[in-house]
Amino acid sequence: MSDNNKQQGTSLGKRLALIGVAVAIIVIAHFLPTPEGLSYAGKMAIALMVSGIVLWVTEPVPMAISGLALMCLMPGFGIFPYNGTPGVWANFISNVIFFILASFGITSALLKTKIPTKIVFTLMHITKGNAKLTVLMFMIATAVISAFVSNLPCTALFAGIAMSSIIEVEQKNGTAKHAANLGKALMIGIAYASCMGGMITPAGSALNIMTLNMLGANAGFTISFLDWVIICAPIALILLVVCWLSVVFIFKTDRISEETMLAIEKSGASVGKLDGFDKKVLAILALMIVAWVASNWTGWDATAIAVAGLALFFLPGIDVLTWKEYIASVQWAIVLLIGCVQSIAGGIKEQGAASWLFGATVGKMAVSAFAVVAATAVALPLMRLIIPVGPALIAISLIPLAGMGPAMGVSAAVFAIIIAFNANTTFLLGVDSNNMMTFKHGQWKMGEFFKAGIAPTIAMMILHATILAPLVGLVGY
């Protein structure tokens, strides 16, 4: 088997079969009668998205490659021309792409500093060996950093710190059972906390910006930085506590051994004080945060602020990042995939397929606004289990739900927030990319992850069904 096949983790025959399934979906859609109220182009736009979901979930080829291929098929089905506005290339590029490119640089700059490590060891000093509080403090530290940097590197960073500074040391000094439970609680808790922190601000995740961009395109308005914080922070913080309670209840922990605490104190002392480099990064991040919050009144663009902050890292005399470091930090697969999904989703909207989906399903149901919000709150976490690709979940669900809002008397912002939460994470599916950043350390099993995620999932459903709409109404949407 070639290295590429090994990387895909699937045999050549199975990979070809999966591609065949995706092609079959498109071919069958082509020959099926076009439903009343839907154009041929609209029907094929939906087929391309469904085909894409199959390819992105099973990944017989890299997700970005399959996305590019499907995007380039749109003109052949009359969905979009290659050029023009709207068009294939025009819909690929948006402020989301530039925000993602800036966010990778911001994350890289922060991870070069002592700041995350200093936060962890300061909080560890407070816990004084209490294992449950140690898990909580790690989760708080992860969430705070993740509110301003991408989830994946944030999870990778704190998982690495937890392994080297606590889990591996406790495995040597403590009991095997306690070390195992502490490892499970910390690693699962960090994965959850990264995503909840990422929901506190729009800057916490590229998927938040993608959601806001699509909300603006399909509902005619967006959510400001400060309003997002007012709406999402209470829900994210409540869920953070629920996640903590779930992992420490399921994975029983006692006190961390004295030997481990001494080793942690020694490691923390060796980090040293923040130096000039660290302070430069902190100052630039502080300026960006102030500008993001001020955008509620100034109208400044959140993406432009992120790009300006990125530029500051390269200025002579500041020199926080080199071009080589920045290029190495950019995850081009994510950039390309989100651009492709935006383009295909734009075709669904342009051809009226989103409106048709709404009219053919929920639009025919005489139900209350609360029932629709509650049904969405319950359905999206379940959909996330079969669509474990965040951008695809946003594209396929936000367009019809945004159209549903005015008809049902519910702000489209409510649905956008529910979708953003679920696009960023699943508490039940261990194979989600963010969760896999902790799974690779070998501390938990898939069944254990699912078990720990039941309570947070139920809590998220309840919070979205009950307090989300009032929070959205509080800020005037």
The answer to whether 185 and 170 have CB atoms below 8 angstroms apart is no
- Residue 255 dihedral angles phi and psi, to the nearest 5°: -85, 145
Distance between CA atoms of residues 351 and 45, nearest Å: 8
* DSSP of 273-324: ---HHHHHHHHHHHHHHHHHHHHHHH---HHHHHHHHHHHTTSTTT----HH
Question: Which pLDDT band holds residue 358 (cuts at 50, 70, 90)?
Answer: low
- Whether the per-residue pLDDT at 418 is higher than 80: the answer is yes
Nearest to 309 by CA among 94, 110, 96: 110
**Measured distance CA(247)–CA(183) in Å, rounded:** 11
pLDDT band per the 50, 70, 90 thresholds, residue 116: confident
Rg (CA), the chain: 23
- Tell me how far apart the alpha carbons of residues 363 and 366 are, in angstroms, rounded to a whole number: 8
pLDDT > 60? residue 240: yes
CB 456 within 8 A of CB 243: yes
Residue 313 structure tokens: 């890292």
Residue with tokens 């902790």: 438
Tell me which range, 14-18, 214-218, 367-371, is most confidently predicted by mean pLDDT.
14-18
* Predicted model pTM: 0.79
Q: How far apart are CA 240 and CA 253, in angstroms?
A: 18
Q: Which pLDDT score, from 0 to 100, does residue 362 have? A: 55
Bridge-partner residues for 130, per DSSP? 255
Instruction: Give the tens place of pLDDT for each residue, 26-80.
Output: 999 999 999 988 999 999 998 998 898 888 878 899 888 999 999 999 999 999 9
Within 10 angstroms of residue 28's Cβ, the number of other Cβ atoms is 10
φ, ψ (nearest 5 deg) of residue 84: 115, 170
- Look-up: residue for tokens 């069944």? 447
Q: How far apart are CA 367 and CA 378, in angstroms?
A: 16
| Angle (CA) 220 226 232, round 5° | 85
Helix, strand, coil content of the chain in percent (nearest 5): 80, 0, 20
pLDDT tens, position by position, 73-83: 999 999 999 99
Angstrom distance (rounded) from CA 7 to CA 5: 5
Sequence letter at residue 249: F
